[in-house]
Amino acid sequence: MARVKKGVTARRRHKKIIAKAKGYYNARRKVFRVAKQAVTKAHQYAYIGRKQRKRQFRALWIVRINAGARQFGLSYSRLMNGLKKANINVDRKVLADIAVHDIAAFGALAEKAKTALAA
């Protein structure tokens, strides 16, 4: 049986990594060994970033809801507590969108939260 050398396989593997390193500078783009490390690190950053994105968006929604709530004399925590007591189940993403784009509707929700807190 003939000996199989890694020429074709290695070239294919190298090309795949070098292609993923497109847009990097200097050796990070041209040298396989360095490019491999750069691509691996980029994948780690991407993985971490996907987790951070969820936290960052939740924080952004809370900031927007808080800003909207304070226009109607409530803090974020009191608004959320009031909505819970009023049995209004709106998630933070939708609530933040309402606070930014439809202030009148957000005001109505805030008033319902106030009445639920008073009762």
pLDDT at 118: 92
Residue located via tokens 């939260």: 113
pLDDT at 119: 81
Domains of the chain in start order, with CATH, are 8-118 (1.10.1900.20)
Look at residues 119, 113, 104, 54 and name the one whose alpha carbon lies nearest to residue 80: 113
**Residue 110 near residue 74, CB atoms below 8 Å:** yes
pLDDT score of 1 more than 90: no
Please state the pTM of the whole predicted model: 0.83
Report d(CA 71, CA 99) in Å as an integer.
10
Residues 73-89 pLDDT 10s: 999 999 999 999 999 99
Phi, psi of 64 (to 5 degrees): -65, -40
